[in-house]
Amino acid sequence: MSNVTSLNEVKTQKVLGDFQKQKLNFDLNKLKNALNEVLKIRGFDTSLGIPHFAAIPLTQIPGDPDSIKGNKARGVYWTKPDSTGVEVSRDVKIDESKYSEFIKDFEHTYFKEVFDELKKHYKLGRVRLLLKEPRSTLSWHRDPEPRLHIPIITNPGCLMVIDNSAQHMPADGGVWVTNNVKYHNAFNGGEENRVHLVACVLDYNFN
């Protein structure tokens, strides 16, 4: 009997892996409406220097609008850019824990409710809406901390790859935490934009 239990534990562990579905759930229609509300006020910032990628920050350092500009909307990551396989770091280190203020312009949207609920369960860093254009990919990279995803617009050709595992995260109001501390990538193989709400999570251990 104890052997069965331990086998199940191993199986569960394997299923959980680097993509962990959370017990939280949000209203997909409200998420889509909130995205439309935000887009009426602010377009996606495409000047981040990464092709086919754009962001709208939902949080900032209190009273500091500069904290969400330029490469601070990206943050440090590590990548292996060429045939040498040598790892290099890109961008600047960010003190994620300071990004505690929800952007006032968006306080009337459902995202504020989502933010307040997430805060009850996780220690959050930056919270952003991230756009991935069709037929595009990120670099192969690792980040300083895990990330929480709430897919809002996606298609079957959107997958995230962590190490040697791939996962599609459906837009159904569900919440995922992904192990971005390992090397990973995300691609959009569809023909329309992918939009996720993505938050840095500072107190999540994958083990």
Which 3 state secondary structure label does DSSP give 161? strand
Nearer to Fe ion, 18 or 143 (CB): 143
- DSSP strand pairing (136-137 vs 184-188): antiparallel
Stretch 75-94: interaction string toward Fe ion, x if CB under 5 A: --------------------
> Which tokens sit at 80?
């292996």
Nearer to Fe ion, 32 or 142 (CB): 142
Contacts (CB under 5 A) with Fe ion, residues 113-172:
143
Nearer to Fe ion, 110 or 187 (CB): 187
Residue 18 makes contact with Fe ion by CB under 5 A: no
End-to-end, the C-alpha distance of the chain in Å comes to 26
Residue number of the CB atom closest to Fe ion: 143
CB of 68 to Fe ion, least distance (A): 18
Helix intervals (H) in 26-149: 28-41, 110-121
Q: H-helix or E-strand containing 8?
A: helix 2-16
Q: Please choose, from the candidates 42, 46, 186, the residue with its C-alpha nearest in 3D space to the C-alpha of residue 111.
A: 42
The residue within the footprint of Fe ion, chosen from 109, 179, 180, 193 (CB under 5 A), is 180
Nearer to Fe ion, 31 or 200 (CB): 200
CB of 130 to Fe ion, least distance (A): 10
Exposed, middle or buried by CB within 10 Å (0-12, 13-18, 19+), for 179? buried
CB of 163 to Fe ion, least distance (A): 13
Nearer to Fe ion, 96 or 143 (CB): 143
CB of 111 to Fe ion, least distance (A): 21
- Given the structure tokens 């330029």, which residue do they identify? 70
- DSSP strand pairing (194-201 vs 141-142): unpaired
CB of 31 to Fe ion, least distance (A): 21
Interacting residue ranges for Fe ion, rule: CB under 5 A: 143, 180
